[in-house]
Chain A
């Protein structure tokens, strides 16, 4: 009787392994669900740099913030700060860092307004 229970649980274990293998390896989420928020940090930093470059030219903060939403972050300042830190560590040029810091400063001025509820 005990042997039957052991075999029963072994069968469950085999089934579970097969189910997990199918879900993780055979049928992973389609590429349509690959979002920019999952980009590697160097690519995310380059995205921030692109946005900072555009902002340096047009000074359009609304457009910059809208573009930052591409990275699907709830805190734009955090993602810019992360990019600045990355740039400092990996030797971005002074001009690039300056643009990102300028964007960071501009977004920080708006931070108190972001999240303010309208009555």
Chain B
């Protein structure tokens, strides 16, 4: 009996100490992280950090600096993450300017990567060959980078501030057609935008209207489908009109076309609109 009481007081002390330790380490003096690197931020703060990189890029167009900053976040797929965030921010109704900056940065990164690895891919984009099937190469893994301070001080060649490359541009509609090909998607308005030299143009804002509604989307948010590519999902039976925000003739009376597959099954086709800068 005495032996059992002896071990019981030790157990009591242990449990009491454990409680004191847990209260102290979790409530009174919890772990506080300091001197974090951007890669360790919470997902929400990483998104915000990425958006800041994009708006800074929109201002200075310094792709080297933007890429170095993005590498600090250690995203596995840098421009995929940027493009996905741009779409998510548009969908969540956050700053359209930041969403466009994110999309533009994703597109420019993809374009730079394509130029580096396969120059013909970046300079191609002939009008007779829609870039739907173009698959851009994956980014190379981020390399070890010097601290942000070194990066910031290394770039002395800032270009003049420029909010957008597409402002004050005007475009003409080059092609308008419906396509019944499930591989392209179902019930989509697909827009391609090229500049006057025939290069795909990312970051172009597109306005789509329907009775009682309006939405905006941008080219370049799906760089794997082409830098000048953008799409919008239509509702069956709704009539849409589409124009480019920076100046184009509106395209009216767009409704999701009904197509019939070889097996007799019906599905919604896509509209393909091609705009060319004047």
Contact = CB atoms under 8 A, between A and B. Distances in A.
Interface of A: 4, 7-24, 27-29, 31-36, 38-43, 45-47, 49-51, 53-54, 56-58, 67, 70, 86-87, 90-96
B30 A23 contact: yes
Interface string B39-61: 01111110011001101101110
Contacts of A21: 21, 25
B261 interface: no
A34 B41 contact: yes
Nearest to A50: B56
B153 A16 contact: no
Contacts, number: 191
Nearest to A31: B42
B36 A15 contact: no
B16 interface: yes
A53 B42 CA distance: 24
A32 to B, nearest CB: 5
Nearest to B147: A42
Contact of B55 (A28, A40, A41, A54): A54
Which DSSP category, helix, strand, loop or mixed, fits chain B's interface? helix
Contacts of A87: 149, 152-153
B36 A18 contact: no
Contacts of B163: 57-58
Contacts of B19: 15, 19
A70 to B, nearest CB: 5
A53 B60 CA distance: 7
B45 A70 contact: yes
Given A43-B148, A92-B153, A13 B17 contact: yes
A29 B53 contact: no
Which DSSP category, helix, strand, loop or mixed, fits chain A's interface? helix
A54 B56 contact: yes
B262 interface: no
A51 B232 CA distance: 32
Given A14-B17, A49-B152, 19 more contacts: A8-B12, A8-B13, A15-B16, A16-B17, A19-B25, A20-B21, A22-B21, A23-B24, A23-B30, A28-B30, A35-B41, A39-B35, A45-B149, A46-B69, A46-B152, A47-B52, A50-B55, A51-B52, A57-B162
A96 B13 contact: no
A22 B22 contact: yes
A72 B14 CA distance: 41
B72 interface: yes
B33 A34 contact: yes
Contact of B43 (A13, A32, A36): A32
A35 B45 contact: yes
Given A24-B25, A92-B153, A96-B152, A36 B45 contact: yes
Contacts of B11: 11
Interface string B73-107: 00000000000000000000000000000000000
B239 interface: no
Contacts of B183: none
B184 interface: no
A58 B55 CA distance: 10
A46 B86 CA distance: 22
B21 A19 contact: yes
Given A38-B35, A47-B52, A15 B20 contact: yes
